[in-house]
Amino acid sequence: MIYPVILSGGVGSRLWPTSRALYPKQLLPLVSERAMLLETVLRVAGVSDCAAPIIVSNDDQRFIIAQQMHDAELASLAHILEPEGRNTAPAAAAAAGFVQTRDPQGILLILPADHHIGNVEAFRRAVGEGARLAQEGKLVTFGIVPSAPETGYGYIKRGAALDDGPGHAVARFIEKPDRATAEAYLAEGGYDWNSGIFMFRADCLLEEMRAHCPEIAARAGEAVVKASHDLDFLRLDAAAFAACPSDSIDYAVMERTAKAAVIPVDMGWSDIGSWSALWEIGAKDDKGNVTIGDVVAEETRNSYIRAEAGLVATLGVENLVIVETGDVLLVASRDRVQDVKKVVARIAGAGRSEHSAHRRVHRPWGYYESLDAGERHQVKHLMVHPGAALSLQMHHQRAEHWVVVKGRAQVTVGDKVSILEENQSVYIPVETKHRLENPGSEPLSIIEVQSGAYLGEDDIVRFDDVYGRDVNKPAAE
């Protein structure tokens, strides 16, 4: 049996401002109408002898991913929560430990959640070939047949062809080269881009880890043994997992093992590592522009223009990336977008929030977005999923006024519980326990008007929470 393991731990800072730390690129519909993580799940659904996926993510993303999977009517075999990011080797080791308890010789297919693959059938054929090699004890990686002297990817040099299939032994892994070196690789042949996609039996991976990175194997294994169930999630033991050295599968295992094999494949792959990558794979108009959203492009060439919240108009420009998200506008030369992370670092260093959160902030119960803010007031739109509920809470420094604009709300204020219909409202005084619930089958929309001396998200004390979040201490809702 093949067990897809979808790694969803990255922050995608080079795709800022659409991708942000609390809502990164793998959760966004950048290439199609579906989030990239969902595209990855659907891609493996057509692979024969394949289990439901194992998703590995951080704590902040767990409810967003669960909601996306639910809305798409997709199920996971497990959703493993990392207490902190420790790179791909500990994540793979934890997944292998989980699979080994069910199927000791089960085959792991390690997949980043944020890759695009244009030729899905070629991908599935390659997975079938990789499964056969993995069953024989090989640690398999997939090399992407290069189409250009790309300097943003690592390379794999093919060794001798294997006797019974399309694969090769791995001669060596190579760090990202300069352009002259990359051009030499293409001229010589026998080199592939390193896709970061791997296949191996769970027992074989753990055996090689015990030989080459024993501390990762031991600590990740301990984190699985001591893991706890939290609603539908498997929460790895925090102390054990934090003790794992941070390392990638490439460095920790693949570059050291004698069992590495590479299968070259041409499947329209991209790691969507920058805005220029989206321009390259996007549908272009006759001027070479890729436009998303409400865009008017006049005398504009070879540009990527994305409007998410309003109209973007351009005149007399070329080779630009323009991304508008409502709260941020990015304008960059298309050949400089690899450096967007420098802008993100500067924003974070200035103590601003735009590097990590959008105007719309997702929560287990739905989301909220700020509509207006000023001295002693803030206005928000809240959307509550059917059957969902905010925590029972209170605020020390602000009062709130809720107006139902769509749906039906059950509201607790102090000891009173009432039902509000559309256009009805309720007032919540300072330091009054309250809760908002959606008892209906349709999304609930609320306009919330806050007033008070302090309106920060940390002015929340929870008393009860259906999502298992901490109570009796200040915390953002």
Q: Where are the beta strands (DSSP E) in 9-65?
A: 54-58
Residue 210 to residue 100: CA distance in whole angstroms: 15
Q: Residue 447's pLDDT is what?
A: 98
Residue 60 to residue 141: CA distance in whole angstroms: 30
Assign 248 to helix, strand or coil.
coil
pLDDT in tens, 17-56: 999 988 999 999 999 999 999 999 999 998 989 999 999 9
Q: Residue 60's pLDDT is what?
A: 87
- Predicted confidence (pLDDT) at residue 85 exceeds the cutoff of 70: yes
Q: Residue 470's pLDDT is what?
A: 73
Q: Residue 468's pLDDT is what?
A: 83
Assign 173 to helix, strand or coil.
strand
- Predicted confidence (pLDDT) at residue 164 exceeds the cutoff of 80: no
Mean pLDDT of 363-367: 93
Mean pLDDT of 424-444: 97
Name the band, by pLDDT with cuts 50, 70 and 90, for residue 163.
confident
The mean pLDDT of the chain is 95
pLDDT in tens, 306-329: 999 999 999 999 999 999 999 999
Residue type for 233, please? F
Residue 354 to residue 340: CA distance in whole angstroms: 13
Residue 259 to residue 247: CA distance in whole angstroms: 19
Q: Are 327 and 354 in contact (CB under 8 A)?
A: yes
Q: Residue 248's pLDDT is what?
A: 96
Domains identified in the chain and CATH numbers = 2-270 (3.90.550.10), 275-348 (no CATH), 360-464 (2.60.120.10)
* Whole-number percent of the chain with pLDDT over 70: 99
Please give, one letter per residue, the 3-state secondary structure of 403-468: EEEECCEEEEECCEEEEECCCCEEEECCCCCEEEECCCCCCEEEEEEEEECCCCCCCCEEEECCCC
Compute CA distances 186 → 118, 126, 179, 267, 388, whole Å. 22, 22, 11, 18, 55
Sequence-distant (≥ 6) Cβ neighbours of residue 184 within 8 angstroms: none
Angle at 425 between CA 422 and CA 427, to 5 degrees: 160
Q: Residue 477's pLDDT is what?
A: 59
Q: Residue 348's pLDDT is what?
A: 94
**Helix runs in 233-304, H state only:** 238-242, 249, 275-281
Name the band, by pLDDT with cuts 50, 70 and 90, for residue 472.
low
Q: Residue 475's pLDDT is what?
A: 52
Q: What are phi and psi of 354, to 5 degrees?
A: -65, -15
| Cα 450 from chain centroid (whole Å) | 32
Residue 267 to residue 264: CA distance in whole angstroms: 10
Q: What is the pTM of this model?
A: 0.90
- Predicted confidence (pLDDT) at residue 224 exceeds the cutoff of 90: yes
Look at 117 and 11; give whichever has higher pLDDT: 117
Q: Where are the beta strands (DSSP E) in 45-120?
A: 54-58, 78-82, 107-112, 116-117
Name the band, by pLDDT with cuts 50, 70 and 90, for residue 473.
low
Q: Residue 385's pLDDT is what?
A: 96
124-133, 163-172, 374-383, range with the lowest pLDDT: 163-172
Identify the bridge partners of residue 449 per DSSP, sorted by sequence position: 379, 401
- Predicted confidence (pLDDT) at residue 476 exceeds the cutoff of 60: no
Q: What are phi and psi of 41, to 5 degrees?
A: -60, -45
